[in-house]
Amino acid sequence: MLDERGKKVLWAVVQTYIGYPDPVGSRVVTKKYAFGLSPATIRNIMSDLEELGYLSQPHTSAGRIPTDKGYRFYVDNLLMGRNPIAEDREVLLQINGRLKDINEDINCLIEDTSRMLSNFSHYLGVATAPRLTETRLRHIELVRHRGRHILVILVSSEGIVKNRIIPLREEIPQKILNKISQYLNEEFTGMTLREIKGKIVKEMSKEKVVFGRLVSQAIRLFREILNTQTDDAYSEDVYIDGLSSVFDMPDFANLSRIKEVFKAIENKYIIVKLLDRLIEFEGVQILIGSENQIEDMHEMSMVISTYKHGGAVLGTIGVLGPKRMDYSRVIPIVDYTAKRITNIISKS
């Protein structure tokens, strides 16, 4: 474990490096933070910190930069008790103001959130559109499409609209489809898709004996819908905003670095998978550098949280930036925004 002095110096180095990405030398530390120690002593301490894996040196005669472990320690132990300063409060107020104005459909809300997170953090804003799985069905509608297909429209209690096209073996006239949707609406409205799935399995077992053709058709159809739905749970949309902010980060001031970043976020599928894995955790999550599993993202950090409705997690929002991002500012922003969105949705 680190002693008090070690912590102080580590904090000073990370803090300074977050300010500007030049390796931090011993002299700078003494100048900026009067610890009452000389550069030589700081050098010794820094040398210790390097040995412990918290700092590293780009080359022998350069200052130190934090390692992932260093950032992790900083975030876990050196950031505590830091309440949002006045400037940040202002930002939170602005976020609140902007969110209040949005009375749109939930996907727009989430898209705007991603933009807002980017604007206020000056990093990349990330947000996943709400998943249907955990929400309650408000309405289902079946529309004939291209002969042997039907267009299925699902509406959740939050007003999330999803549509899928599913193929059929036989053509069903719109009139019958209307009856089927009516039946499905009466039977399943108010349940979560998960619950519906369970119910359908039960119904299917007795179906043949008790129900008529229409109902059995309806149930079979719904099962199909749910299957299609689950199949591409991963194809859910991610909104990533603020791409050009990358160009203002000195961390990525050369082409190959920038290219790496864009490679990383181009494949949204991978990001969704990453975010999905974190969806179960409570509160703000922080992933530093190689802590996330995406190869091309090892020079970046993510600060994310989830938004919910009725206890069920709907999606993820967060900020993606360089490892030396200003965590003390970003964390409250993400935290606050996630809570506000949860709040707004709960009023639906």
Judged by CB, which is closer to DNA: 61, or 235?
61
Tokens at 197, concatenated: 């799935």
How many angstroms separate the CA atoms of 312 and 304, rounded? 17
Angle at 38 between CA 37 and CA 43, to 5 degrees: 100
Interface contacts to its own copies, rule CB under 8 A: 103-105, 138-139, 141, 143, 145-146, 149, 151, 153, 155, 159, 161, 163-165, 167, 243-244, 247, 253-255, 258-259, 262-263, 266, 347-348
Q: Counting contacts by CB under 7 A, is residue 23 touching DNA?
A: yes
Q: Which does 159 bind (CB under 5 to 8 A by kind): its own copies, DNA, none?
A: its own copies
Q: In the 8-state DSSP scheme, what is residue 233?
A: G
- Scan for tokens 């039960």, then name that residue: 202
Distance of closest approach, residue 154 Cβ to its own copies, in angstroms? 10
Between 86-101 and 106-121, two packed helices, what is the crossing angle to 10 degrees?
Answer: 160
Among 27, 32, 194, 263, binds DNA (CB under 7 A): 27
Please give the C-alpha separations between residue 316 and each of 22, 29, 305, 312, in angstroms, as whole numbers: 33, 38, 6, 12
- What are the DSSP E strand ranges found in 242-338? 285-288, 300-309, 312-322
Closer CB to DNA, residue 49 or residue 274? 49
| Residue 38 binding target from DNA, its own copies, none, CB below 5 to 8 Å by type | DNA
Residue 26 is a binding residue for DNA (CB under 7 A)? yes
Give me the helices (H) in 33-75, please. 39-51, 68-73
Residue 57 binds which one of DNA, its own copies, none, with CB within 5 to 8 A depending on kind? Answer: DNA
Decide: is 256 part of the binding site for DNA (CB under 7 A): no
The site partner of 105 among its own copies, DNA, none (C-beta below 5 to 8 Å per kind) is its own copies
Residues 61 to 100 in contact with DNA, rule: CB under 7 A: 61-64
Name the one residue in this structure whose structure tokens are 């129900």.
Answer: 211
Cβ at position 63, least distance to DNA in Å: 4
CA distance 12 to 265: 31
41 interacts with DNA by CB under 7 A: yes
Count the Cβ atoms, other than its own, within 10 Å of residue 37: 18
Chain residues binding DNA by CB under 7 A are 22-28, 36-41, 43-44, 46-47, 50, 57-64
